[in-house]
Structure 1
């Protein structure tokens, strides 16, 4: 994508990212943890953590999930064991699906 084009996000996406950032900020502050302390634990600059807490959708997904793991913020409404079970179930379902996905070829009728 050219640098001049700005990526647009759905309102749902922006709201979800903002909520996640707010939850991270609330939990960090409730634990009396400074932004620098959490940034150090995450291995990022404080400004990156601040972007996460502000709800910047361009923050790495892994970074956001790691912050939630450090702060014990449940994702998907489950604990680690429940998440592992859901991941196993999803893997089994995925194994049942075709390994290759491609659109059906459109037949061309040249019978005039």
Structure 2
């Protein structure tokens, strides 16, 4: 069976390439090979190569783990600042409905 292909939005591809380049730069600065980073993350050197080339198909957890191990800041924040952003996100979500339902009647936005 053929693998399903998906076309990603330009900002998605750009973000994956930015993170990949940051990871590649940090890995090389530490003098680690792709295989060494892959061993630390628990993936193959090929997956690290895909990540560094900006493949949006690499698992989010894999990308974040590689960035964390290399000291690449995620969302422009580090340590306690990143934890505070996560807490703020959870607090905001707690204020919103937990489910969104399909509207049965069309919205009348003709003012």
Per-residue CA distance 1:17-57 (angstroms, 9 max, x = gap) = 11111111111001111111111101111111111111111
CA distance in 2, matches of 1:62, 1:38: 14
Kindly report which structure 2 residues correspond to 1:19-98, keeping only aligned pairs within 5 A, or say none: 19-98=18-97
How many residues align? The count is 106
In structure 2, the gaps of 5 or more residues are 107-111
Q: Which runs of 5+ in 1 are unaligned?
A: 108-112
Using the TM superposition, name which of 58-67 and 8-17 deviates more. Answer: 8-17
Q: TM-score, normalised by structure 1?
A: 0.86
Higher-Rg member (1/2): 1
Is the partner of 2:97 in helix, strand or coil?
coil
Question: So what's the TM-score if we normalise by structure 2?
Answer: 0.87
**Using the alignment, how far apart are the partners of 2:44 and 2:99 within structure 1?**
41
Deviation at 1:96, TM superposition (A): 1.1
Per the alignment, residue 110 of structure 1 pairs with: none
C-alpha deviation, 1:98, in angstroms:
1.4
Cα root mean square deviation, aligned: 1.7
Comparing 58-67 and 18-27, the one that deviates more: 18-27
